[in-house]
Chain A
Amino acid sequence: MRDLFRFLFRHRNNMLFLALLALSMSLLINGNMHQRAQAISSSNAMVGQLYAWRSEVAGYADLREVNRRMAAALADARNQQYATPLRQDTVHVVRDTVRMQTYAFITAQVINSTVHKERNYITLGSGSLAGIAPDMGVIGMNGLVGIVRDVSPHFALVTSVLGNEYRTSVQLKRTGHYGLLSWDTGDPATASMTDVANHVPVHAGDTVVTRGNDNIFPPGIPVGTVTEVREAPGSNFHDIKLHLSEDLGRTAYVHVVIDLLKAERDTLEAKAVRP
């Protein structure tokens, strides 16, 4: 017994090392397996506040560019507004009073983001008090950004499309074929579309949009444009490379998507899987 204690005492530093290593590895494995609610994340209050301050300072450097984009977005909105009356006197427009609003959008400011890690996260300056909840879609001014993973009262942590934590269902706008978005290029400007069969005619320049089947994103949100189509030998699927339409390195403001009919649809679909 005394020898055992002597042994333990002599190796106390090695023991401490092994204990700390085991602790950090278990954090690592749990953190990667279960994506939910962790105290260790930048949506916690103190770290979020620090990032908010940083964003205040760094924000000034981007103001000119942000203003230009805002002005462009405003111009687009105006164009659509003036275009509507012209379309109203054609027979194709149905003034539909039966349809209701399906999606609502919350504007949020990006206070921290990375693009060059293996998995990238974005911290938003609004949280559950603004109505944001986990699993809501996040879209930028030009296209897809990510999905909310975790929220605190004033902040939200978003998993960016740059990181393969989930696969968004996307669609070729021209042909309507479905596929999955996958970020395997390691480059913040590009991504891949997988699971599109070989017989589908895809060309460089085709637009890829969200499919909107998952109650996360509305259908038709721009994702990117096809830059390259390759046939992998021995595969039944195209190897499609996209240029992402949202420049995630400079996204400053985003819209968080609320699907107002999600609860209704989930209840209905739950009946189907019930034995």
Chain B
Amino acid sequence: MTSTIRHHILSFIVLVLLQALVLDHLDLANGWVVPYLYVLFLIALPFDTPPWATLLLGFALGMAMDFFSSTPGMHASACTVMAYARLLLLRILSPREGYDAVKRPTVAHMGLNWYLTFAGTLVVLHHLWLFFVEVYRFDHFFSTFIRAVMSAAATLLLCLLTQALTAREASSR
């Protein structure tokens, strides 16, 4: 239990720093693709995280990003919405006998289909919210939409890659 908490605190710090110091400075496809890998923290929380903790952690994660990008409330609102959607989605995708206590929301534990549905929905929702709040208006609707979806694909790819790279270390714990 304590080691799980320590693992998640560490991943919070590493993901926020990785996002602020490296990923935010990538200029992929002339600004059309901006991966926001830091949301992996919310995706990878254990199944038995209490709902209030999920919401508060989502808000805290967003605020941490806002401090770095000088955008008060932008990431915080996107992550709060994402945390709430995660609660609903977990209820919808729940297996008949409930979630296995030893399993975690990863490809290795839940299968690729389940993971793509779960993480894909959350990432697309988060990115749509974030990009539309960033633009702050609805003209150029289509180009913002395309930017959000392309970035979501990149984020999802990075999520899969990160989990594949850290999988062995995680299963040995």
Q: Does A114 contact B (CB under 8 A)?
A: yes
For window 1-58 of chain B, which residues contact chain A by CB distance below 8 Å? 17, 20-21, 24-25, 27, 30-31, 34, 51-52, 55-56, 58
Closest residue on chain B to residue A114 by CB atoms: B24
- Residues of B within 8 Å of A38, CB to CB, are 70, 72
User: How distant is B3 from chain A, measured CB to nearest CB, in Å?
Assistant: 27
Decide: B31 and A249 in contact? CB cutoff 8 A: no
- Residues of A within 8 Å of B34, CB to CB, are 116-117
Decide: B80 and A24 in contact? CB cutoff 8 A: yes
- Residues of A within 8 Å of B55, CB to CB, are 13, 16-17, 20
Bound together, the chains give a CA A44 to CA B64 distance in angstroms of 13
User: How distant is B99 from chain A, measured CB to nearest CB, in Å?
Assistant: 17
Q: Does B69 contact A (CB under 8 A)?
A: yes
For the residues of B in contact with A, the DSSP-based class is helix
For window 15-45 of chain A, which residues contact chain B by CB distance below 8 Å? 16-17, 20-21, 23-32, 38, 40-44
- Residues of A within 8 Å of B121, CB to CB, are none
Q: A13-B55, A20-B55 are in contact. Are A31 and B25 (CB under 8 A)?
A: no
Contact digits for B66-82, partner A, Cβ 8 Å, 1 yes 0 no: 11111111101100110
Decide: A47 and B68 in contact? CB cutoff 8 A: yes
Closest residue on chain A to residue B76 by CB atoms: A24
Bound together, the chains give a CA A12 to CA B58 distance in angstroms of 16
Bound together, the chains give a CA A25 to CA B81 distance in angstroms of 11
Q: Does A262 contact B (CB under 8 A)?
A: no
Tally of A-B residue pairs with Cβ under 8 A? 103
- Residues of B within 8 Å of A50, CB to CB, are 17, 20-21, 68
- Residues of B within 8 Å of A147, CB to CB, are none
Decide: A41 and B70 in contact? CB cutoff 8 A: yes
Q: A13-B51, A21-B81 are in contact. Are A42 and B59 (CB under 8 A)?
A: no
Q: Does B87 contact A (CB under 8 A)?
A: yes
Partner of A21, one of B66, B80, B87: B80
Decide: A31 and B73 in contact? CB cutoff 8 A: yes
Partner of A116, one of B27, B67, B133: B27
Can you list 8 A-B pairs with a CB-CB distance of less than 8 A?
Answer: A17-B80, A38-B70, A42-B67, A47-B68, A58-B25, A116-B34, A118-B136, A186-B31
Question: Using a CB–CB distance below 8 Å, which chain A residues touch chain B?
Answer: 12-13, 16-17, 20-21, 23-32, 38, 40-44, 47, 50-51, 54, 58, 114-119, 121, 157, 186-188, 249
Closest 3 CB pairs of A and B: A116-B31, A28-B73, A27-B73
